[in-house]
Structure 1
């Protein structure tokens, strides 16, 4: 099973359509909130099953969580704002243990993360439209079989970026040296 994991699209779906067109054999899309209506739009447009939850920008003041069954085990889906994502991951880990899940998929921070905490994966795809990690956006691809489970964070520029090499830019000191005759 191959899953496209998204979060925090905030009403901007152009990059999602662009990367989806370059991906092969996606079985499911999971949207971890902030603009759940984007998930409904994607489902209607792409015709692929989507599991989604509400985030803080959807007005979710109570936990909105889903469980997704995969060949490798269960995934807990949440936005993460009510569980303290970004400050402390213990609540997410406790929830995963309580629900017997192999992974928690969440968003909220707009920063990608994929880490194994003692056999439970915490996976945040970041945001394609409003990243907070200095990148041009990211998402995750999850692979699940009966024998294996793994996830990869994929950066938008590696799939859809320009192939032109950029010239290195100098900084403040270089500018002073190049234009030192002005002083």
Structure 2
């Protein structure tokens, strides 16, 4: 199964639709909160299965209100917004929660910063935010592939322009008096 994982769209869906149209063979979208209504809109407009959870901006206060578990060929995956799991401070609580639930991975949002950690028995993945990134990028998302052999996660970055950026030499030439 090939999954597009996004988080923290906050009602700004333009980049999400652009990214989705550029990808091939997506079987499911996971939306990790803020806002759950964005997940509902994706499912309705794209006609694809969307697993979405509520975030703190949806009024979810507890772990139960802001999480769910999905089953994949690779095993169970915990989906959570993360605010109720303390992901702003460290990921230990989330890691042990995933272990207790028998999950091979935990996907979370809330921080707006991408993170991928394969430590111990659980993969921890935060796709960052496409619309309100806090890492200095133009936004990010993740592609996850699950199968009998396991799970593979890849964080990808949104690019405003497809034009290649020039390097140091190009800058010298463009902004010099030609030496």
TM-score (norm 1): 0.88
1:59, 1:166 → 2: CA distance? 45
1:36, 1:86 → 2: CA distance? 20
Partner of 2:130: 128
Deviation string 1:87-143 (CA, Å, 9 cap, x unpaired) is: 111110111011100000000000000111212110000000000000000000000
1:148 aligns with 2:147: no
1:32 aligns with 2:32: yes
Please give the secondary structure, in 2, of the residue aligned with 1:122.
strand
Give the greater-gyration-radius structure (CA): 1
Partner of 2:176: none
Please give the secondary structure, in 2, of the residue aligned with 1:111.
coil
Of 89, 102, 105, the match for 2:104: 102
1:90 aligns with 2:92: yes
Partner of 1:118: 120
Unaligned runs of 5+ in 2: 172-179
Partner of 2:4: 4
2:118, 2:12 → 1: CA distance? 30
How many residue pairs get aligned? The number is 169
Give the C-alpha shift of residue 11 in structure 1.
Answer: 0.3
Give the C-alpha shift of residue 43 in structure 1.
Answer: 0.5
Give the C-alpha shift of residue 166 in structure 1.
Answer: 4.6
2:146, 2:76 → 1: CA distance? 10
Please give the secondary structure, in 1, of the residue aligned with 2:128.
coil
Superposition CA RMSD, Å: 1.7
Please give the secondary structure, in 2, of the residue aligned with 1:21.
helix
TM-score (norm 2): 0.90
Unaligned runs of 5+ in 1: 171-183
Please give the secondary structure, in 2, of the residue aligned with 1:75.
strand
